Structure 1
């Protein structure tokens, strides 16, 4: 079945971005973050392309299961741990490492009587105020975890940076200091850095780093593109023109008629819309590429279609490819126009968009 809306995933770009993370992280081991369907890129093909990573990090049990069902044996870490005691046997069957961030999870492991021994990560909350234990409790909790019959070896230690994308914000330095002070007496391996940490905060690199968005060629910093950081965009979202017509001067286009032709104007219709994940928050004037040239949205995005001002591309024809984001049109720019972040646009691509690997 041929679908007009398609996302092309450049697996060589994934590998190149992984190498960039390795080079930037000073020898730290790489925990490649492939949660949320690998940020919309497809968890299984992304994992295969990123097989050179030392481990994979996922958020949910079903993501770990997808990796195992695809026959991959790499280390998998459940960043949110288990939610219920009934999930512990499943985590064991998947040979998943567990992040422990709550007293409930700690008690589950203390009560666990199965034969499997888990590698675990103790999460310390140094200022995100989301998941994790207070720094002052780290030593006691690490010892409790290490004493669990179901835990293998010394617990590893992690925290999460809240503002590393803000390169002049001293809060990141404060978080790193709090983490180091809280874990000074402990021997476990450590992980602090996310993508922004890898790229901008070398003091956060530690034993393991956890690159996410940078692996997909996207900058974690507002106002900067991945390409500007030496990364390669992985996803190109595209469709095609399915109609071209001339709208007379004064003619209104689309729902609500929010765009009006100031003169006779060639309008193209492309088969993609918010039902495919191309957000309705993008308005008239948003750029797309047709035949390598810039056209702009004219009118509101609808569920299945967008309309384009082709005034500057007189040779545009039905069947021409329309690039919504990718090489030459950074997703970061589209996110800025939509008032959101590139993570949301990438994760929002829906199942009816055909995925093609190259």
Structure 2
């Protein structure tokens, strides 16, 4: 029998969320962000569903773009961290990838590496994130250099990234937008992009030509005070396992490593076949719920590597093998992230290889 711990991916929800992106930014093209294995949902599960529905796919690096090509997908892919060596430019050209430039050494590599075919290039400008990007005062010269390079496409992309888009009223958003709008640019064919998920939802003035949804595609909120469902999104990922053991204990029985939780009454304790070795957070708060047969059962004791324990005393009926939802349809991943003192992004991206994946229609 196969271990029941798995991730279920709802492709209908994925398309629904993409349509929400298009509803919020009706005049913009979409680069679907599928970096970090499509935010944990799996490039093989996500990309074929979105193929033909989006302008391009966004990845962090060449390896992720090659994983898309390995699926037989010919759609455009944008390397958001660009290349890490000059040699990678040949692969970029061979597979018709688009490449972001954000550092002077990347620009020098490109200008010094004749390529057999033209590539589409994006220039990232640092308007205040202070992580990647050219200074605003350098952009005119960078764009001109690219325009004069024979192996660079005539249309050049110009992008920036907002540091505080998840706080729509933060003054840095408008400061960054102002810097972006006031850039001194040569008269070239330029395509523009600013918006991530948070900006798509709340800052329409940033939509420009292309938007870059990430977390919202997967039905998760980019904001700390709302869930994806509260924003009208549908959860794409459902993380589930099953009951692997049931026990009846008297009052004052200590449960799990360190005996940190003690029964206050005769109790039914269930063991769920999932732990931090699968990607469930070890430092989850006591009494964080899991969903079983329509009942929210609290986690008790410490999360182990391969299992966790839940109090089923008040649950009408539970049997070995019953499905347990850790997050997804009935429990928002944002709720679990809050209980673990982290963000939903991290939870989605930390599954171990032993967690198998099921794709639902």
TM-score range normalised by the length of the shorter chain: over 0.9
8 A contact 2:143–2:185 mirrored in 1: no
How big is each residue's C-alpha offset from its partner over 1:187-207, in whole Å with a ceiling of 9 and x where there is no partner? 401000000010010010000
Instruction: Kindly state the Cα deviation for residue 177 of structure 1 after the two structures are TM-superposed.
Output: 0.8
1:243 aligned residue: 245
How big is each residue's C-alpha offset from its partner over 1:312-337, in whole Å with a ceiling of 9 and x where there is no partner? 20311111111000012100011011
2:269 aligned residue: 267
How big is each residue's C-alpha offset from its partner over 1:126-154, in whole Å with a ceiling of 9 and x where there is no partner? 11100000111111111111111221113
Q: Hey, what's the Cα distance between the residues in 1 that align with 2:220 and 2:151?
A: 39
2:290 is the counterpart of 1:288: yes
Q: Hey, what's the Cα distance between the residues in 1 that align with 2:113 and 2:103?
A: 16
Instruction: Kindly state the Cα deviation for residue 26 of structure 1 after the two structures are TM-superposed.
Output: 2.6
1:303 aligned residue: 305
Relative to 1, partners in 2 of residues 1:183 and 1:46: Cα closer, same or farther, differing over 3 Å?
Answer: farther
8 A contact 2:242–2:273 mirrored in 1: yes
1:258 aligned residue: 260
More displaced, 147-156 or 117-126? 147-156
TM-score (norm 2): 0.97
1:79 aligned residue: 80
TM-score (norm 1): 0.98
2:42 aligned residue: 42
1:314 aligned residue: 316
Q: Hey, what's the Cα distance between the residues in 2 that align with 1:114 and 1:165?
A: 39
- SS of the equivalent of 1:315 reads coil
Q: Hey, what's the Cα distance between the residues in 1 that align with 2:230 and 2:285?
A: 26
Q: Which runs of 5+ in 1 are unaligned?
A: none
- SS of the equivalent of 1:136 reads helix
Q: Hey, what's the Cα distance between the residues in 2 that align with 1:291 and 1:355?
A: 22
How big is each residue's C-alpha offset from its partner over 1:102-128, in whole Å with a ceiling of 9 and x where there is no partner? 000000111011212110000000111
Q: Which runs of 5+ in 2 are unaligned?
A: none
- SS of the equivalent of 1:81 reads coil
Instruction: Kindly state the Cα deviation for residue 260 of structure 1 after the two structures are TM-superposed.
Output: 0.7
1:153 aligned residue: 154
How big is each residue's C-alpha offset from its partner over 1:226-284, in whole Å with a ceiling of 9 and x where there is no partner? 11111100000010001110121111111111111111111000100011100101132
1:177 aligned residue: 178
How big is each residue's C-alpha offset from its partner over 1:40-94, in whole Å with a ceiling of 9 and x where there is no partner? 0011220111120111000011110011111111110000000101111112222
8 A contact 2:215–2:221 mirrored in 1: yes
8 A contact 1:78–1:96 mirrored in 2: yes
8 A contact 2:93–2:115 mirrored in 1: no
1:353 aligned residue: 355
1:36-115 correspondence to structure 2 within 5 Å: 36-51=36-51, 52-115=53-116
Instruction: Kindly state the Cα deviation for residue 3 of structure 1 after the two structures are TM-superposed.
Output: 2.3
How many residue pairs match? The answer is 358
8 A contact 2:31–2:56 mirrored in 1: yes
- SS of the equivalent of 2:183 reads helix
2:327 is the counterpart of 1:329: no
8 A contact 2:13–2:235 mirrored in 1: yes
Q: Hey, what's the Cα distance between the residues in 2 that align with 1:183 and 1:286?
A: 52
Q: Hey, what's the Cα distance between the residues in 1 that align with 2:315 and 2:271?
A: 14
Q: Hey, what's the Cα distance between the residues in 2 that align with 1:185 and 1:201?
A: 27
Q: Hey, what's the Cα distance between the residues in 1 that align with 2:314 and 2:176?
A: 50
Q: Hey, what's the Cα distance between the residues in 1 that align with 2:194 and 2:114?
A: 31
Q: Hey, what's the Cα distance between the residues in 1 that align with 2:115 and 2:210?
A: 29
How big is each residue's C-alpha offset from its partner over 1:170-229, in whole Å with a ceiling of 9 and x where there is no partner? 111111111111155554010000000100100100000000000000000011011111
8 A contact 1:98–1:121 mirrored in 2: yes
1:13 aligned residue: 13
CA RMSD of aligned residues (A): 1.1
Q: Hey, what's the Cα distance between the residues in 2 that align with 1:208 and 1:73?
A: 19
8 A contact 1:213–1:219 mirrored in 2: yes
Q: Hey, what's the Cα distance between the residues in 2 that align with 1:3 and 1:73?
A: 35
